[in-house]
Structure 1
Amino acid sequence: MKSDVFSLTALWIMAAKWEMEDRLSSESARQLFLRALRFHPECPKLYQEYFRMELMHAEKLRKEKEEFEKASMDMENPDYSEEILKGELARIIYKNSVSIIKGAEFHVSLLSIAQLFDFAKDLQKEIYDDLQHLHTDDPLTWDYVARRELEIESQTEEQPTTKQAKAVEVGRKEERCCAVYEEAVKTLPTEAMWKCYITFCLERFTKKTNSGFLRGKRLERTMTAFRKAHELKLLPEFQYEQLIKSLLSHNFLKEALEVAVAGTELFRDSGTMWQMKLQVLIDSKSPDIAMQFEESFVHLKPQVCLSLWISWAEWSEGAKSQEDTEAVFKKALLAVIGADSVTLKDKYLDWAYRNGGYKKARAVFKSLQESRPFSVDFFRKMIQFEKEQIFGWIISKKN
């Protein structure tokens, strides 16, 4: 049903756009929008496009008037009334639509459209003020107000010219954004509000810059906001994961480990969270990796542990002896049963051939052949190893 309504409103909008742009008839376009709204009185898209159309019409009239004035021609056209030129028709649509369609998201969408038109400064201010007044309890409002600080230019007459001065100015703007967010999380201490704050910090942190000063400030702000949110337990798991990935990509291992430890404390039964913590420990070359793998299995259900066992075996192959790695595989096969064990057996066989050749692979194959289930690949691998062994023997005989 929703898709049908969307298709119908899209047709209304297309028809109005054709009237406006191809037939140059703003009045026909207006009538089409009004008819469409009688059928779909609560459709945000219709109001948005109707609002946009009236602003485009006002802009067009302003340009026409300007051309007439340049040519010193008399204007008798009543369409050039000051109210229409200022976008009063768009203002009426705005007022009517926000009385019907509630919520900050729709409000912000109209403000974003109004900001595309330089002549509509008064209307932009009115919408912005109404947004703050009507939707104080919506995180989207605070998020919009905070991000708006990035667009506000410096009050000083001279604009920064050097790279360092520009970095300092960007840093000031971001500080102002964070000041708004700090006020927001005090006024609205919810998970949704903290999510907006941390998302902003992450966006700025991952933004490329050659300024060490700016990079350091962004890291400091991100970690400060994270610690506060973590203490209040108001961050969803996926944001811990996002933050760890961002920190790792910039090689901030100490900070990544802090977030990972905090994440596993809060989400002890999350396999993903433990996987990320162990990855940080591996990247950090921690001496406690094996112990941490063991600890993770204490908190996790067996059915989510397969990827951790595989990670442990892969790490052990590169960092430990063959005996240690084989011990990991054997422990894993005792802990992981059923269909999940199929992948482990395949990897165990691969590891055996890679590190001990045909004889080791044959020994592992024999030790596992009674431990069902298996994959077809398990047998195909062993057949291939046998073929390679025979082929190698034939070549050696010929030589």
Structure 2
Amino acid sequence: MQHCHPSDMNMFRLSARQSLSRPSSNSGTPQSHHQHEVIGVSNCLQVQERIFVGIIIKSGMLCALQKEKTTVSKLFTRMLQVHTRKPDLWITAAKWEFEDNLNHENARHLLQKGLRFNPASKQLWLEYYRMELLFAEKLRKRKQIMEADLLEDEDSVQDAVLAGSVAAVVYRQALQEFPEDVKFALSFLPICQLFDFAKNQEEDIFTQIQKSFPDRPETFDAIARRHIYKASTIEDEELKEKEIQKCYDVFEDAVNKVAEGEIWGLYIQACLDLVEMKFPKTTPLPEWRIHKLLEVFDDAAKKEAVTPALFEKWAEVLTNVGQIKELLKVYDLATTHHPKVVTLWVHRLQVLIRTVPTEEKVIAVFHEACKHVPKKKSLPLWRLILDFCISNQSDSTTTLFEKGVSCHSSVSGPVKVLYLQWIYLTAGISKTRDLYKRFMQAGLVPLQIIKEYIKMEMAQAKPKMKLLRQAYEDAVSEFGSTNADLWIDYIQLEQTHPQGRPEDAGNIHFRAVKCLEGELNQQFITKYTLLQTGHLDV
């Protein structure tokens, strides 16, 4: 057996030590020393397991490269004895047996054993099914090459295996484990369709699904998409369109039988795929397919079955075909059906603004949106309306800013920054100072506002040190315990400004060291040392 590389074992030991010393993630709950030990040991065992598996697989790959197949088999056997509940490992071992060791029986045995330990693993069933079809394909190719004469009684058995009958048995057994899972039953189809000789099996799967799940949306979708697949292989345009019409017919039947809204989503997605699909023969896209898509969108909307994501798709289609007026109607409908979805309101406003409406109309829609959208999620709306008002030099700009700064904290903070910037650009530094002072007196000022104000003061022809010093005092007073860079910037200001007091740098350093803790404290000391020696990148 191949020995583990020393670096692998070092990594193993290091990870184990880190796991034992790692604190609990539930820092808010008091825990005894014993509880910490239990958590540490649990973490350690989990890391040991991951590292062990990694080392075993790495060793197995090394042995495989050296063509030591017996050693690889033993490695996988030992690994699976310990990790019986890991489906991925059973699949990896079976894949190696089938592809590298060329031993189909061992691979089959591993997958069967893996399923006994993990009967709920859908991936194991799918891989088992895939492997049996691959084995049948290998036998078919071998038969074509060898052209061996077989006895008649052997022919029947051989033909059954060559047709993938073993895979069909696997499929039936899998469905017995998950009798109500239509999506799992359908997940075998893409595998089956990879093998030309399994056409009869594909038919059987479709028949079984229609029998077991006759009124499920997924069943209708699978049948309809089968017509789409057939259409993609037909070059004759008339025959192609007839096959596509069969797809539409399946869905039309489905929406009359199935009450679930999911069927409309599947119908719309199929129509979108038909609009976007590429055929072997390059031809212009028939307009009727786009009209059909828009018609389905309309019908689904009447049933209130269009999700926010599908409304966005609808809008995208209308944009591509240049129907801007219809686009606005769609977003009106979207915000009616999904009034709490902020992105739909934002897009509705954006489309409305493109139509050059009156200012009153835009602001009215904005206020309507604010009634429905949760306040903590409404920032995109505020950004959009403020940008609109500023661009149009609206008289309502100040009023909206004043409302915005009194909103939810997730909105008021960014709006205060925008308000400060707008006042600076339109009214000058004097008004900006007044607004900044007002914000500070009100409290709960984000750090970004103080930083923006400092930039504005620094941009003056003669920056006033008194005002800058006060701004930095505001900053370190509120955020000094969580931000080491603020203290460094403050010290730099005192050292570089013509009216600064370099002798105060030591006092600021002392305050910073007392205020900052842990890693932040070390960061500050390091940066301060680099600053004093002239090696700090500014």
Partner of 1:225: 296
**Aligned partner (choices 317, 342, 364) of residue 291 of structure 1:** 364
| Structure 2 counterpart SS, 1:233 | coil
Aligned to 1:89: 166
Q: Kindly, what percent of the aligned residue pairs are identical?
A: 29
Task: Rate the CA distance shift 1:31–1:171 in 2: closer, same or farther, 3 A.
Answer: same
Once the two structures are overlaid, the 10-residue window that deviates more, 26-35 or 77-86, is: 77-86
CA distance in 1, matches of 2:84, 2:414: 46
CA contact (8 A) 2:221 2:251 kept: yes
Q: CA RMSD in A?
A: 3.4
CA-CA distance at 1:119 after TM superposition? 1.0
Alpha-carbon separation, structure 1, partners of 2:277 and 2:429: 50
Look at both structures and tell me which one has the larger radius of gyration over its CA atoms.
2
Cα distance, 1:324 vs. partner?
Answer: 3.7
Whether contact under 8 Å (2:352, 2:362) holds in the other structure is yes
Letter in 2 for 1:234: A
Structure 1 segment 127-138 matched on structure 2, within 5 A = 127-138=205-216
Deviations 1:158-188 (A, max 9, x none): x34xxxx5xx876655443232222111111
1:376 aligns with 2:454: no
Aligned length: 378
Tell me what 1:396 maps to: none
Say which of 77, 95, 102 aligns to 1:17: 95
Counterpart for residue 104 of structure 1:
182
Matched ranges for 1:351-362 at <5 A? 351-362=422-433
Alpha carbons 1:68, 1:74 under 8 Å: kept: no
Matched residue type, 1:309: W
Contact 2:457 2:463 in 1 (8 A): no
- Structure 2: runs of 5+ lacking an equivalent: 1-45, 51-81, 465-538
* 1:282–1:289 Cα contact (<8 Å) kept: yes
- Structure 2 residue 249 is matched with structure 1 residue 179: yes
Structure 1 residue 200 corresponds to structure 2 residue 200: no
Residues 202, 243 of structure 1: 8 Å contact kept: no
Q: In structure 2, what is the Cα distance between the partners aligned to 1:213 and 1:19?
A: 48
Residue 369 of structure 1: how far off its partner (Å): 4.6
1:311 to 384, 404, 429: 384
TM superposition shift of 1:260:
0.9
Deviations along 1:204-232, one digit per CA (max 9) or x if unpaired, are: 45668997753x43442232222222211
Counterpart among 298, 314, 320 of residue 243 in structure 1: 314
Match of 1:217, SS? helix
Structure 1 spans left out of the alignment, 5+ residues: 394-399
| TM-score with structure 1 setting the length | 0.82
Whether 1:387 and 2:465 are equivalent positions in the alignment is no
2:178 is matched by which residue type in structure 1? Answer: I
CA shift, 1:43, in A, is 2.5
Which residue identity is paired with 1:185? V
Return the alpha-carbon distance in structure 2 between the equivalents of residues 181 and 5 of structure 1.
Answer: 46
* Distance (Å, rounded) in 1 between the aligned partners of 2:449 and 2:206: 64
Change (3 A) 1:347 1:204: farther
Q: 1:347 to 1:6 in 2, by over 3 A?
A: farther
- What is the distance in 1 between the residues matched to 2:208 and 2:443? 67
Bigger relative contact order (CA 8 A; separation at least 6): 1
Measured in 2, the distance between the counterparts of 1:155 and 1:212 equals 17
- Partners of 1:276 and 1:382 in 2: how far apart? 32
